[in-house]
Structure 1
């Protein structure tokens, strides 16, 4: 098994590589490499997993630093799934959120999140303001 390195800083992230691997693994929501960079830089905390200097996982959290946090962009490259990588990234982020209400949205992995202590909430709502990813 290959060694996985978890980084919580954004030093030397290859944003074009991230964009490419997300697209190739069908986890691309349309952000450009520059938008990915801005998204991660504006986060409260981040975790990027690497194997052989290649990005194989991401997770980040948005937070007010006091009482509310929202976990987004949790992804593990398909060939590395079910090896504890997402669980480790989540734990790294959750360790930074003591005392906060942590929320996330998932439509394809609820059982995974239940296993690490999340409970389903009865109502969630969303709205896109303007056109998706057009915010300048």
Structure 2
């Protein structure tokens, strides 16, 4: 049975880091950086099979008109079971009235099924060195 948590109590950040690394979803953040990323989010959703983390999703938002969805991930052995869709619906329900954006080169059809429209909008810049915030 899959459960979905919206709070960050008792999250095993080391386990999350290890599992996303094993699943090749790791972007280089340490366990502490993952914890800070999720803590600084507008809303989060973490999927569990028992006590094992098998999915993540979070949203950054001003709470009024703009939101950005990031870190959508379902552990490979649990894909195609509706876990990512459920996490997305949970987050989207919290974003009424907001323009919601996400950037990805993967799973475009998945996001279209959830109502997203593909656009060609993004400018980017990394300030300083990636993941070095001091």
Q: TM-score range by the shorter chain?
A: over 0.9
Q: Report the secondary structure of 1:133's partner residue.
A: coil
Match of 1:65 among 53, 63, 66: 63
Residue pairs, 1:38-57, within 5 angstroms: 38-57=36-55
Match of 2:81 among 69, 80, 83: 83
Q: Report the secondary structure of 2:21's partner residue.
A: helix
What is the TM-score when the length of structure 1 is the normalising length? 0.97
RMSD: 0.5
Residue 133 (structure 1) aligns with: 131
Gaps (5+ residues) in structure 2?
none
Q: Report the secondary structure of 1:23's partner residue.
A: helix
CA deviation map 1:22-78 (0-9, x unaligned):
000000000000000000000000000000210000000000000000000000000
Runs of 4+ in 1 over 3 A off after TM superposition: none
Match of 2:32 among 20, 31, 34: 34
What is the TM-score when the length of structure 2 is the normalising length? 0.99
Residue 23 (structure 2) aligns with: 25
Q: Tell me, in whole angstroms, the C-alpha distance in 1 between the residues paired with 2:53 and 2:83.
A: 12
Match of 1:122 among 120, 123, 130: 120
Gaps (5+ residues) in structure 1?
none
Paired residue total:
134
Q: Tell me, in whole angstroms, the C-alpha distance in 1 between the residues paired with 2:56 and 2:20.
A: 10
